[in-house]
Chains A and B, each alone.
Chain A
Amino acid sequence: MNYLSQIAFVLVLAIAGYFLAKRIKEIRGNILLGKDVDRSDRKSERMKSMLLVAFGQKKMFKKMIPAFLHLLIYVGFLVINLEVLEFIIDGLVGTHRIFAGPLGDAYTVALNIFEFLAIAVIFSCVVFLIRRNILKVDRFSGIEMKSWPKLDANLILVIEIILMFAILTMNATDQILQTRPDANYTQTGTMVFSATLIPMFDGLSTTGLIITERIAWWFHIIGIFAFAIYVTYSKHLHIFMAFPNTYYANLNLKGEMNNMDEVTNEVKAMLGVGGASTEPPAEISRFGAKDATDLNWVNLMNSYACTECGRCTQQCPANMTGKKLSPRKIMMDTRDRIDEIGKTGGDDGKSLLGDYITKEEINACTSCNACVEACPVNIDPLSIILQLRRYVVMEESSAPQSWNSMFSNIETNFAPWKFPPTDRFKWANDLKTEEKE
Chain B
Amino acid sequence: MNTENIQVPTMAEMASKGEQPEVLFWVGCAGSFDDRYKKVTKAFVKILNKVGVKFAVLGEEETCTGDPARRAGNEFLFQMQAMSNIQVLDGYGVKRIVTACPHCFNTLKNEYPALGGNYEVVHHSQFLQELIDEGKVRVKEGGGFKGRKITFHDSCFLGRANNVYEAPRKVLESLDAELVEMKRCRTKGLCCGAGGAQMFKDAEPGNKEVNIERTEEALDTGASVIASGCPFCMTMLSDGVKNKEKESSVEVKDIAELIAEAEDLV
A interface list, Cβ under 8 A from B: 252-257, 259-260, 263-264, 266-268, 270-271, 273, 275, 287-288, 315, 317-318, 320-325, 360, 363-370, 372-373, 386, 389-394, 399-400, 402-403, 405-407, 410-411, 414-417, 419, 421-428, 430-432, 434-436
Contacts and interface: CB of A to CB of B under 8 A. Distances in A.
B59 interface: yes
Nearest to A254: B161
Given A425-B60, A427-B42, A428-B59, A365 B196 contact: yes
Interface in B66-110: 66, 68-77, 79-81, 83-84, 87, 106, 110
B69 A255 contact: no
Contact of B210 (A318, A373, A431): A318
Interface in B36-57: 38, 41-42, 45, 57
15 contacts: A253-B110, A253-B163, A256-B111, A287-B75, A288-B75, A322-B205, A363-B201, A364-B203, A370-B190, A386-B71, A389-B71, A406-B201, A415-B32, A425-B60, A426-B32
Interface of B: 3-4, 6, 8, 10, 27, 29, 31-34, 38, 41-42, 45, 57, 59-60, 62-64, 66, 68-77, 79-81, 83-84, 87, 106, 110-111, 114-116, 156-157, 160-163, 187-188, 190-191, 193-210, 213-214
B200 A403 contact: yes
Contacts of B163: 253
B8 A431 contact: yes
Contacts of A393: 72-75
A421 B206 contact: no
Contacts of B157: 255
Contacts of B84: 271
Contact of A415 (B42, B64, B71): B64
A394 B79 CA distance: 13
Given A255-B161, A427-B41, A421 B193 contact: no
Given A323-B203, A427-B42, A317 B114 contact: no
A286 to B, nearest CB: 13
A389 B75 CA distance: 10
Given A370-B191, A410-B66, A394 B74 contact: yes
| Secondary structure dominating the interface of A | helix
B204 A259 contact: no
Contacts of B213: 317, 320-321
Contacts of B209: 321
B201 A402 contact: yes
A263 B78 CA distance: 10
A436 B160 CA distance: 41
Contacts of A426: 32
A394 B74 CA distance: 6
A373 B163 CA distance: 11
Contact of A257 (B62, B111, B188, B202): B111
Contacts of B34: 417
A317 B191 contact: yes
B63 A414 contact: yes
B73 A416 contact: no
B77 A252 contact: no
Q: Which of A270, A320, A416, A423 has the most CB of B within 10 A?
A: A416
Contact of A422 (B60, B77, B202, B205): B60
Contacts of A264: 79, 114-115
A290 to B, nearest CB: 12
A425 B77 contact: no
A324 B204 CA distance: 8
Contacts of A325: 204
B204 A390 contact: no
Nearest to B194: A366
Q: Which of B42, B63, B160, B200 has the most CB of A within 10 A?
A: B200
A386 B73 contact: yes
A204 B190 CA distance: 62
A399 B57 CA distance: 33
Contact of A270 (B80, B161, B187, B188): B80
A-B complex: 8 closest residue pairs judged by Cβ atoms:
A255-B161, A367-B196, A389-B73, A322-B207, A435-B3, A322-B206, A414-B63, A393-B73
Q: Which of B34, B69, B157, B209 has the most CB of A within 10 A?
A: B69
Contact of A323 (B75, B195, B206): B206
B200 A402 contact: yes
A368 B157 CA distance: 7
B72 A406 contact: yes
Nearest to B105: A255
Contact of A424 (B59, B83, B195, B205): B59
A430 B110 contact: no
B196 A399 contact: no
